[in-house]
Amino acid sequence: MKAIKFLGTMLFFAVTSACFAQADCDAVNKRFSAWQKQGQGKFSEKGDWFAYTKSGAQDSLFVVDTRNGIEKGLNGVSSFNFLDAHFLAVKKEGADMLFDLKLGQLKQIGTKEYGVWHSNKGLVWKNAGEVGYISVNGKNRKPIPQVDFFQLHPSQNWGIYTTEVAGSTEVYSLNVGDWKQQQLLRFSGKLKRVVYNPDDNFFVIAVEKADGSTQLFAQNVTVKQSMHKVKTVIVKDIAVNSISVDSRNGKVYFNTLSVPKVATGKSVLFAESLKDESAVPQNKSMVWNTLKEEVYALVEPGFSEMIPTAHPDRYIGIKTERYDPRDYNGLSYADYYISGKDIDEVLIERKLPLLYRQLLVAPHAEYLAYFKEGNWWSYNIGTMVKKCLTCNVAAHFENTLPNYPYSVRHFETMGWSADGRDLLVYSKYDIWRLALDGSSAEVLTTGSKAQTVFRHAVEKTLPKSFISNSMYETKIIPSGNKFVLTAYRHVSEGQALYLLNGKRLLEICGFANQQFDYTKLTEKYLVYKAESFNKFPYFVRHDLKSGKTWSSDKQSDKVNFGKTKVITLEGTANRVKGALLYPTDYKPGAKYPLIVSLYEREAQEINKFRLPTLANSAGFNAALYTQNGYFVLYPDLRYTHDNVLESFQTDLDGLLDKVIEEEQAVNADKLGIIGHSFGGFQVMHAVGHTHRFKAAVAGAGVSDLMDFYFTEHGKGGVGMFAFEFAQYRSKMPVGNSNILLNNPLSFADKVTTPLFLWSGTNDSQVHHRNSEKMYKALWRQKKEAYLALYDKESHALDKEENQKDLSCRILNFFEEKLK
């Protein structure tokens, strides 16, 4: 029995409706069960072989010879990686195996606790107290016995292992290349963590002593110390997961924890502040300078936080006491200083917003950079000289139309250059290389001429560094002058892929409604993954010399996804537009219902593939509806600070009128609307201001803004400040009449559209009472409304059974009202 409470204006109608939906949805499931979506994919080094996973298949891994198209399937595979030109390493049903690409045969290596493939030549493994090496050519290494712990360095060229001897633990280094071992140290205690610096041989070992203290051992080969000369220090209350290393300066950073004592026995609590941290562990940032053999706290009077830098003796100090967030709609500001043992505090800049990447600290050079009043600035930490890097550049670096009040005001950064001399940043359209000493500013792309946005096509993850605070970090760009770039055109939502080689832009994949999720550049090939609404995700290998391509997509041409187009509302500076997805059975002269899917700005959904499945966390899937005879419209609409929905209804009505004018197959009398979270809030607002929709669905949306504002963060609300500077973009509701203008519950008396509401009873972001309030307000007026509450579900549904149940109910609801 499903954990659901379903309420309707007529209970009998609701129950029979749900049963009818289930029968329909069983047929829907079977209809699309053969569709398979490619997931992870990898090419061999020479590009001759391609291995990939796909959903809905009996085999979990497929290997393709790209030269002849022959494909082999393997089942039970959980991970895979190409070695040399002859082997694919796989983990199958818990065991490490080699798949001979030429023979198509599997060779079992055995089940290992730990295994890492080294230099494409062999497997370094740990199992049953031994560490060994299995080579693909049969030249195995003699296992090392009695090993308790083993961990490879990220370079995979060496590692550390421990063994217990006479009640003590001995630590050894292991060179994987020649299999030589060397003892580093011996200790008594429990090993807690080994931390490597990924760029060199600096490492830290944390050991828990019998008295609860932690002993740290450090070795830094980069300063030419003997491998036997290990530095050590004992500290208390250390948070071992906070340890990070700065090998350049021989420093180890970590946090210590202290829990203040809390008075008990009082029956009355007086809150001086809503931020009560009396019983919360307090972090204290610490530094261990292994070169000077000293430990000290990274804190000075007056600073709320201190950030380490690449300078050996200087830090960035942050002061926030001059700025009360209550004066700035919840935003925090700070003054930034340079401080250190060799200088008194020196002001860098006043009143910078505390936003992600507003100020950046280079982990490999004595520079920081920050954005203020439309320009990028650099600051040399050693000379304490600042330079404006873009004051004389004829380009727009400030985002004057940020999505949220808390959004950073620049267009983001590409990253630091590897040599520490430059910062690569984005203007509105282009990529710029800014010399940190202020000597030059070079544009690398030509986007502004065609209003095309160029961005770096790389993974968004940040490298680990000793700064350990993503607010002040950005990527480090590898050396070289070849970059893979995406290009984007706002009007069409089209994207393309380019290779920037020096100053030459080479088009790899032309503009279309598509998106690129993965790129990898080798000497010979550019490999990328692409998808769109009407094209399955697929991998492409592009030969950089010949321009020839090989694609893994073998399905898209066999499936009818329907047409797509972008429609723009004139007079809105291209800010109001919609992605229109056509029904797959579209025929000129016929009429089809249309469903509007709302969530802020959604036109980009035209570039994303969706399997038409019923397993949807918010109960809606556009592909499911286009395959069942519906138009789907994903709109981009405008949102106003301090009056978030001021132009919402005008924009929505104007865009719908434009769509109906351009595509006469849309049945203007059969319009539906759906939204989840902020989209649910929009739906409830819309049905209180227009009667043109014949059915509406609002999931986990806010119906009462006043109640939502005062609901505690994590207990069904987002908190006061997030309400003000995030999606709802509003000043505090006290004395603010705009709150009532945007409040869906205030217009419940105007609603005539049948409304289906749903929520999870464990929703910590938007309390389910918001859906209940709107339902009760409509029920009291004898209006048609339905409410589904999913027991122990959160903001979006996690259990597949409930996802399918909700999707079925919503599909049936629209089928009944719109067809």
Q: Among 551, 584, 615, where does a domain finish?
A: 551
CA distances from 76 to 43, 109, 264 (A): 20, 16, 56
706, part of any domain: yes
Question: Measured between alpha carbons, how far is 540 from 562 in angstroms, rounded to an integer?
Answer: 23
683, part of any domain: yes
Q: Among 207, 230, 262, where does a domain finish?
A: 207
Instruction: Say what the pLDDT of residue 155 is.
Output: 83
Listed in sequence order, the residues at least 6 apart from 610 whose beta carbon sits closer than 8 Å to its beta carbon are 533, 621, 622, 623, 624
Helix (H) or strand (E) holding 144: strand 141-144
CB burial of 279-310 (b: ≥16 within 10 Å; e: otherwise) equals: eeeeeebbbbbbeeeebeebeeeebebbbbbb
Question: Do the Cβ atoms of 373 and 388 come closer than 8 Å?
Answer: no
Which amino acid is located at 428 in the chain?
K
The backbone torsions φ and ψ at residue 416, rounded to the nearest 5 degrees and listed phi first, read -75, 145
Q: Do 369 and 510 share a structural domain?
A: yes
276, part of any domain: no
Query: What's the average model confidence in pLDDT over 9-30?
Result: 48
Listed in sequence order, the residues at least 6 apart from 795 whose beta carbon sits closer than 8 Å to its beta carbon are 677, 700, 760, 763, 764, 765, 766
Q: Do 594 and 537 share a structural domain?
A: no
Query: What's the average model confidence in pLDDT over 149-176?
Result: 90
CATH of the domain at 767: 3.40.50.1820
Query: What's the average model confidence in pLDDT over 232-255?
Result: 91
Which of helix, strand or coil describes residue 789?
A: strand
User: In the structure, what pLDDT confidence band is assigned to residue 269 with cuts at 50, 70 and 90?
Assistant: very low
Question: Do the Cβ atoms of 209 and 240 come closer than 8 Å?
Answer: no
Q: DSSP labels for 538-551?
A: EEEEEETTT--EEE
Question: Measured between alpha carbons, how far is 620 from 677 in angstroms, rounded to an integer?
Answer: 13
Is pLDDT of 751 > 90? yes
The backbone torsions φ and ψ at residue 742, rounded to the nearest 5 degrees and listed phi first, read -100, 0
Closest to 377 (Cα-Cα) out of 393, 355, 356, 354: 393
- Residue 174 bridge partners (DSSP): 159, 181
Is pLDDT of 266 > 50? no
Instruction: Say what the pLDDT of residue 687 is.
Output: 98
Instruction: Say what the pLDDT of residue 463 is.
Output: 66
Token pair, residue 235, equals 């500290």
Instruction: Say what the pLDDT of residue 3 is.
Output: 53
Instruction: Say what the pLDDT of residue 459 is.
Output: 67
**For 62-101, how does the pLDDT look when each residue is reduced to its tens digit (9 = 90+)?**
999 999 989 988 888 888 888 877 889 888 888 888 898 8
Q: Do 642 and 501 share a structural domain?
A: no
Helix (H) or strand (E) holding 60: none
Q: Do 582 and 539 share a structural domain?
A: no
Closest to 371 (Cα-Cα) out of 353, 383, 384: 353
Listed in sequence order, the residues at least 6 apart from 571 whose beta carbon sits closer than 8 Å to its beta carbon are none
Instruction: Say what the pLDDT of residue 403 is.
Output: 86
Q: Among 162, 183, 207, where does a domain finish?
A: 207
Query: What's the average model confidence in pLDDT over 538-562?
Result: 92
Q: Do 585 and 478 share a structural domain?
A: no
Q: Domain containing 74: what range? A: 41-207
Is pLDDT of 513 > 70? yes
Q: Do 494 and 415 share a structural domain?
A: yes
Question: Do the Cβ atoms of 793 and 762 come closer than 8 Å?
Answer: yes
User: In the structure, what pLDDT confidence band is assigned to residue 472 with cuts at 50, 70 and 90?
Assistant: very high
Q: Do 627 and 503 share a structural domain?
A: no
Question: Do the Cβ atoms of 673 and 683 come closer than 8 Å?
Answer: yes
Q: What angle do CA 91, 96, 100 make, to 5 degrees?
A: 90
Q: Which bin fits 193, alpha (ψ -120 to 50), beta or left (φ > 0)?
A: beta
The backbone torsions φ and ψ at residue 395, rounded to the nearest 5 degrees and listed phi first, read -155, 160
Question: Measured between alpha carbons, how far is 246 from 204 in angstroms, rounded to an integer?
Answer: 11
32, part of any domain: no
Instruction: Find where tokens 């797959």 sit.
Output: 584
Q: Do 729 and 603 share a structural domain?
A: yes
Instruction: Say what the pLDDT of residue 462 is.
Output: 63
Residue with more model confidence, 292 or 362: 362
246, part of any domain: no
- 746 secondary structure, DSSP code: G
Mean pLDDT in the chain? Answer: 89
Helix (H) or strand (E) holding 371: strand 367-372
Instruction: Find where tokens 């070289």 sit.
Output: 480
Query: Of all residues in the chain, what percent carry a pLDDT higher than 70?
Result: 91
Provide the number of structural domains found in the chain: 3
Question: Do the Cβ atoms of 684 and 777 come closer than 8 Å?
Answer: no
Closest to 202 (Cα-Cα) out of 173, 170, 242, 236: 173
Q: Which bin fits 629, alpha (ψ -120 to 50), beta or left (φ > 0)?
A: left
User: In the structure, what pLDDT confidence band is assigned to residue 23 with cuts at 50, 70 and 90?
Assistant: very low
Q: Do 742 and 772 share a structural domain?
A: yes
CATH of the domain at 189: 2.130.10.120
8, part of any domain: no
CB burial of 128-144 (b: ≥16 within 10 Å; e: otherwise) equals: eebbbbbebeeeeeebb
801, part of any domain: yes
User: In the structure, what pLDDT confidence band is assigned to residue 258 with cuts at 50, 70 and 90?
Assistant: low
Pick the most confident of 89-93, 178-182, 493-497.
Answer: 493-497
User: In the structure, what pLDDT confidence band is assigned to residue 10 with cuts at 50, 70 and 90?
Assistant: very low
Closest to 768 (Cα-Cα) out of 706, 714, 717, 700: 700
Q: In 6-132, where does DSSP find H-type helix?
A: 11-31
Is pLDDT of 549 > 50? yes
> Of the given ranges (110-114, 172-176, 410-414, 686-690), which has the lowest mean pLDDT?
110-114
Is pLDDT of 251 > 60? yes
**For 700-742, how does the pLDDT look when each residue is reduced to its tens digit (9 = 90+)?**
999 999 999 999 999 998 889 889 988 999 888 888 888 989 9
- 143 secondary structure, DSSP code: E
Question: Measured between alpha carbons, how far is 111 from 92 in angstroms, rounded to an integer?
Answer: 9
Query: What's the average model confidence in pLDDT over 387-393?
Result: 97
Q: Do 624 and 538 share a structural domain?
A: no
User: In the structure, what pLDDT confidence band is assigned to residue 341 with cuts at 50, 70 and 90?
Assistant: confident
Instruction: Say what the pLDDT of residue 320 is.
Output: 94
Instruction: Say what the pLDDT of residue 13 is.
Output: 33
Q: Do 475 and 395 share a structural domain?
A: yes
Question: Do the Cβ atoms of 609 and 514 come closer than 8 Å?
Answer: no
Number of C-alpha atoms within 13 angstroms, CB side, residue 485? Answer: 28
CB burial of 480-505 (b: ≥16 within 10 Å; e: otherwise) equals: eeebbbbbbbbebbbbbbbbbeeeeb
Instruction: Say what the pLDDT of residue 140 is.
Output: 85
Question: Do the Cβ atoms of 398 and 409 come closer than 8 Å?
Answer: yes
316, part of any domain: no
Residue with more model confidence, 281 or 759: 759
Q: Do 462 and 432 share a structural domain?
A: yes
Query: What's the average model confidence in pLDDT over 292-315?
Result: 90
